[in-house]
Structures are given as C-alpha cells and as structure tokens.
Amino acid sequence: MTIANRKKINFSRKAKSKLILTVLQMTLVSLGFLVMLLITNGEPSIFVIVLSFILASFFVVFNQQILLNKSTKKILKIFGIKSLLFNNSNIKNLKIKPNQENDVNQNILQKKINQEIIQKKINQEIIRQDLNTASLILANLSDAELVGVNLSNAYLNGANLSGANLSEANLNYANLSDANLRGTNLSSVQLVSANLSSVQLIGADLSNANLEHTNLSSADLSNAELVGVNLSSANLSDARFMSANLTNGNLSGVYLWNGNLNNAKLVNTDLSNAYMSSAKLNHANLSCAVLKNAQLSGAKLRNANLKNANLYGTQLLGARLDHANLENANLEGANLEGADLRGANLSGANLKSVKINQATKLDYKWRLVWEILNHKNKHTDLRNADFEDANLQGADLRNTDLSNVKFTRAKVDNALFGYNQGLSLEMKLELKLRGAVFEDE
C-alpha cells in the first residue's frame, strides 16, 4: 500500500467517526426539542425554549468531556501510568509551616523523581510502540531517549528534538520541516526521502546516517558530524554545512546550489555528478575527494584543499580557485574557462585536455605547462623555464632548447625528448630514470 493511500484511509476513518458522532448528537438534540413541543402542545414559552437550548448545549459539552476522559485513560493505559502523585498546582497550594518545611522539600524531591521515572517509562513505551504515520507536530521531545524508534511517515513539523537520542531510528518519509534537532544524536538513522527543509541540525551527529533523496533545502548543519553519511541525490540547495565533517560521505548526485560548505571537511567524499553551482567551499578540505563530472560553475573554492582530488570532467567555469591547493589533482577534461587560479598550487596536477580561455587567470608557469601538454603554441625555446613539480607526463619536448630548465621533481613518464639543446648528459640520465623517452638514442 502506498503512503498516499494509507493517508487517505486514515483521513477517511477519522472523518467517518466525526460525522457519525455529529449526526448522533444532532439526532438526540432534535428528539429533545420534539419532546418539548409535544409537552407544550406546540406552543412553548420563551423560558422553555431558552432552558431547552441550555440543556442541549450542556449535553454536547458533557458528551465531549466523556470522550476526552476516555482518550486520556487510553493514553495513560498505553504508558502504564495510573496517576501523578504530585503536580505544580498541588505544590503552589501547599501552606508551608516552619515544622513542615522538611516534609515539603521531600515532597518536591519525590515529585521530581516520580516525573523522571514516568518520563523514562514513556520513552521505553514509545520505543516499543509503532509510531508509523504518527502526528507529533510541534511536539516537545527534547533530550528524549528514542533509540531505534519507528517514526516512518510521521509528522514532526516544528517539533523540538534538540539533544534527543534517535540513533538507529526509522524516519523514512517523515516530515521534520522546521524542526529543532540541535545536538541531536541521529547516528545510523534512516531518513530516506524525508523532508528536513529548514531544519536546525547544528552540532548534530549524523554519522553513517542514510539520507538518500532527502530534502534538506535551507537546513543548517553547521558543525554537524556527518562521517560516512549517505546523502546521494539529496536536495541541499541553500543548505549550510559550515565546519561540518563529511569525511567519507556519499554526496553523489546531490543538488547543492548555493550551499555553504566553508571550512567543511570533505576528505575522501564522493561528490561525483553533484550540482554545486555557486556553492561556497572556501577553506574547505576536499583532499582525495571525487568530483568527477560535478557542476561547480561559479563556485567559491578560495584556499580550498583539493590535494589528490579527482576533478575529471568537472565544470568550473568562472570558479574562484585562487590560492587553492590542487597538488596531484586530476583535472583532465575539466572546464576552467573564466576561472581564477591565481596563486593556486598545481604541482603534479594533470592538466591534459583541460579547457581554458583568455579569461582564465592562471600563473605563467602553469599556463606554459598546459600549452605544452595540449600542444598549444608549439614552443622551441624553453630556456630558463621552471617545470619544478610540474606534471609533464606524455608531453612532447622534442627539438626544443632546454638550457637551464628546472625539472626538479617533475613527472616525466612517457614524455618525449630528443634533439634538445642545453640538456646535459647527467640531466638526460636522470630524466630517463624517471620514465622519459629519448628518440635520438
């Protein structure tokens, strides 16, 4: 049975019960008026009419009170609570005498103990209850122990769950929009296709949680712990992840337009095919992250750490990458047209088939490496060039003047050399040991 059908059935049952109750009340009131007309031979006085109306109103109110009491008893029966020994009104009405002060203090202490016992009992019963499709809108469940509870399809809009323990709970398809989940333990929780739009998850623990296809638009997850989280295909537009820890997370295919991940930790995180246009990733740690075919046009990645990241085919049009660390990153096939890479560290980075244009801001050293790798503007004079730490794998450097060129720590596997001027025998031997190919030998 689908969720929509289940909701329709529940709604129909409630509507049918209310309709039957209303018809029954109207029938009884009508009978009362009929009896009144028979007694007065069809000519009731004003007094009798007013009295009848008052009695009818009293009947309706009394009937509702009986239903309310039955509902209350049912709830108390579920949680195994027969009575509350103390309540706030009892304490307020106590007349304290000097010799009774100790007794009152003991009563207050006993009340607190009773309330704690009752709360624990309620929490234990909630865990055993199947709260599937339950309505807990605006409920206050702060600091509640709800480990493993089944709240799938539940309505928790605007609920207060701050500090609660919901680890391993089932919240699939639940609606938690605008809820307060600050500091909540949601480790290993199931939140597939749940609605968490505009939710407060600051400092929450979502380690190893499953939020596949979940709506987290405009949610705040600043400083949240999301190690190993599954957010694949989730909606994270306008979401805030400042200083959050998403290490080893799965964010493949997420929609993260205009998201804020400044200072976030995304080490070894999968962001392949993610849509992250205009996202903010300044000072973020994306070392060893996978961003294959991701959309990052207009993104802010200033001072970001992208060491050993896989950016194969990534769209970075107009992106800010100034002073970013792209050491040993794979940028093959990436689009950097109009991007700003001034001061970026591209040591060991793969720049093959990278798209750049005149609007791309790139330091001279790395633009030269890009030109050589992509056979742009064939250079025959490379005297005094600086290729230190550059990735020249597969480059064609034949028939070029290499006088005073720096090849310190440069990657030259399968690079083609031959008929070069200014290259000492010692340097040739070293380059051959590092995988270079010399055609003039």
417 DSSP β-pair partners: 438
Q: Is 87 exposed, middle or buried (0-12, 13-18, 19+ CB in 10 A)?
A: exposed
Three-state secondary-structure class, residue 285? strand
Mean pLDDT of 160-189: 97
pTM over 0.75: no
> How many other CB atoms sit within 10 Å of the CB of residue 393?
17
Q: Report residue 264's pLDDT band, with 50, 70 and 90 as the boundaries.
A: very high
> Is pLDDT at 233 greater than 80 in this prediction?
yes
Extents of the domains making up the chain? 3-79, 363-441
Tell me the pLDDT tens digit for each residue of 114-127.
555 545 555 555 55
> Is pLDDT at 109 greater than 70 in this prediction?
no
Least confident span in 28-42, 262-276, 399-413: 28-42
Tokens of 244: 């959050």
Are the C-beta atoms of 234 and 252 separated by less than 8 Å? Answer: no
Supply the DSSP string of 82-145, one letter for each residue.
---S--HHHHHH----GGGHHHHHHHHHHHHHHHHHHHHHHHHHHHHSB-TT-B-TT-B-TT-B
Give the per-residue SS3 of 202-223.
CCCECCCCECCCCECCCCECCC
Q: Report residue 19's pLDDT band, with 50, 70 and 90 as the boundaries.
A: low
Are the C-beta atoms of 110 and 85 separated by less than 8 Å? Answer: yes
pLDDT recorded at residue 74: 43
Mean pLDDT of 208-217: 98
Mean pLDDT estimate for the chain: 84
pLDDT recorded at residue 102: 54
Q: How many whole angstroms separate alpha carbon 37 and alpha carbon 28?
A: 14
pLDDT recorded at residue 150: 94
Mean pLDDT of 259-283: 98
Are the C-beta atoms of 247 and 268 separated by less than 8 Å? Answer: yes
Handedness of CA 57, 58, 61, 64 (dihedral sign): negative
Query: For helices 46-79 and 3-39, what crossing angle results, to 10°?
Result: 150
Q: Is 237 exposed, middle or buried (0-12, 13-18, 19+ CB in 10 A)?
A: buried
> Is pLDDT at 21 greater than 90 in this prediction?
no
Percent of the chain with pLDDT over 90: 67
Least confident span in 16-30, 137-151, 175-189, 324-338: 16-30
Percent of the chain with pLDDT over 70: 72
> How many other CB atoms sit within 10 Å of the CB of residue 79?
14
> Is pLDDT at 79 greater than 80 in this prediction?
no
> Is pLDDT at 301 greater than 80 in this prediction?
yes
> Is pLDDT at 99 greater than 80 in this prediction?
no
